[in-house]
Amino acid sequence: MSHDVDLFGDPIPPGHGRRGRPAHVPTRASRDKVLIGLALGWSNERIANGMGLSLPTLRKAYAAELKTREMARDRMDLRIVEKLFEGVNAGNVGAIKELRKVVERNDMMVAADAARFKPREAEEEKSKPLGKKEQRQANADAQTSQGRFAVPAPPRRHMQ
C-alpha cells in the first residue's frame, strides 16, 4: 500500500480521480489544526477555509473537536506550560526564564480577577437605594426613637 500525500501533506484517498468527490479522511494532524484554530478563537468558517473544507464537512468530521471550543485555549496554554516544565526538568535555562514569565503573567491575571470581582459585590450592597416606603419607615423610626415623641420604654416586670 502506498502512502501518497498531496501538496499539503494530506493523504490521497483511494479512488482519487474517479467520479464524485472523495470523502474527507480526518488525520491526527488535521485534528490538531482544528484544535489550534479553536484555541486561537477562530470561527468554524475560518477553520474550514484554512483547511480547504466545506463547513458541513468540518462539522461532520470534527464534531468531537468542535465541542471542546470553550476549553481549547486553556488546554493549549496548559500544554505549553507542560512542555516548558519538561524543559525546566531537563535543565534548559531558556525554559526556566520563559516559565517564570508565564507564572508571573498568571499571577497578575489571578490578582486582577480577584480585584475585579470583590469591589463589585461591595458596591452593589452600598449603592442599593431604599424605596419610598422603606425610606418613610426609616424616617419614622428615627423620629420615634428620640425626642419628646419617642415611644416610652415598656415597664419592667419584677418577679416576687
Q: Write out the DSSP string of 70-138.
A: HHHHHHHHHHHHHHHHHHHHTT-HHHHHHHHHHHHHHHHHHHHHHHHHHHHHHHHHHT----HHHHHHH
Query: For residue 78, which phi and psi values (nearest 5 degrees)?
Result: -65, -40
The predicted pLDDT at position 160 comes to 58
CATH dotted code for 1-67: 1.10.10
**Residue 43: its pLDDT value, please?**
95
pLDDT of residue 104: 95
Supply the pLDDT for residue 135: 87
Sequence ranges of the domains in the chain: 1-67, 72-128
Query: What local confidence, expressed as pLDDT, does residue 85 receive?
Result: 94
> Which set of grid coordinates corresponds to residue 65?
473537536
Q: Which positions of the chain have pLDDT values less than 70?
A: 1-2, 118-127, 143-147, 149-150, 159-160
pTM of the model: 0.56
